[in-house]
Amino acid sequence: MVRPHAVIDSWKTIRRDSIQALLDMPAGSLAFQPTPDLMPFADIARHILIAGHGLAGLLLDGVDNLAVPEFRQMIGKYAPEIPTDAGADVIAAKMGEVMEADAAALSAQPESFFGGMMTRFDGLQVTRLEMLQFVKEHELTHRSQMFMYLRLKGVVPPTTRRKLAKK
C-alpha cells in the first residue's frame, strides 16, 4: 500500500531537484527553448509551480470533480503572484515556499482524506492519493524536460551530479 507521506516526501524531493535545475540554468538562458514549438525553460518552471499548487489547492479544498469546462479557471485561483520578468531566484524561492505549504497542508490531512474518490480532468475516477501521485508524476515529467534543456546547455542535472559524487 502506498502511504500518503511517502508520496508527499517524494514530491518534495522532485521539487527540490526542479528548483535546483532552475538555479543551474546559465544566466540569460531562462528563455531557452530547443525548438519554437517547445515551452521556454522558465515557463516550464512556472507551469510546475502553478499546476502543482493549483491541483494541491483543489484537493485540499475538497473539489471532487475536475472534469468541468471551468477547470483552468479553477486552477488559476491558486496561481502564485510572480512578476513576468522574475529571475530564477524569485521563481525558485516561490516554488520552495509553495511546496512547503502544500506539503504541510497535505500532511495534516487524516488518512481517510486520501481515500476519498474524485474525478480527474480526463474523467477518470481516482482516489485523492492517486490524484496526488498524478500531480507528482506531472512534475517529474516536466523536471525531466528541464534536465534535457540543461544538458543541451552543457549542464549536468542535479540528480546526475549527486550520483557521480557518490562514486
Percent of the chain at pLDDT above 70? 100
pLDDT at 102: 98
- The count of other CB atoms within 10 Å of the CB of residue 3 is 11
Residue 70 has pLDDT above 90, yes or no: yes
Are the beta carbons of 137 and 48 closer than 8 angstroms? no
Distance of CA 29 to the CA centre of its chain: 21
Q: What is the pLDDT of residue 31?
A: 97
- Res. 164: pLDDT tops 90: no
Q: What is the DSSP letter of 68?
A: S
- How far CA 161 is from CA of 23, 154, 157, 165, in Å, comes to 14, 13, 6, 6
Q: Residue 120 region, left (φ>0) first, then alpha (ψ -120 to 50), else beta?
A: beta
Gyration radius from the chain CA atoms: 16
Dist. CA 150–CA 31, nearest whole Å: 12
| Average model confidence (pLDDT) across the chain | 96
Q: Which CATH number fits domain 4-165: 1.10.10.10, 3.40.1280.10, 1.20.120.450, 3.40.50.1820?
A: 1.20.120.450
Domain ranges within the chain, ordered by starting residue: 4-165
Mean pLDDT of 27-47: 96
- Per-residue model confidence (pLDDT) at position 1: 79
- pLDDT tens track for 13-25: 999 999 999 999 9
Q: How many whole angstroms separate alpha carbon 102 and alpha carbon 149?
A: 27
* pLDDT, position 130: 98
The answer to whether 42 touches 150, Cβ cutoff 8 Å, is no
Residue type, 72: R
pLDDT band at 166 (very low <50, low <70, confident <90, very high): confident
* pLDDT on residue 108: 98
Cell readout for 130 is 492517486
pLDDT (tens digit per residue) in 71-122: 999 999 999 999 988 999 999 999 999 999 999 999 999 999 999 999 999 9
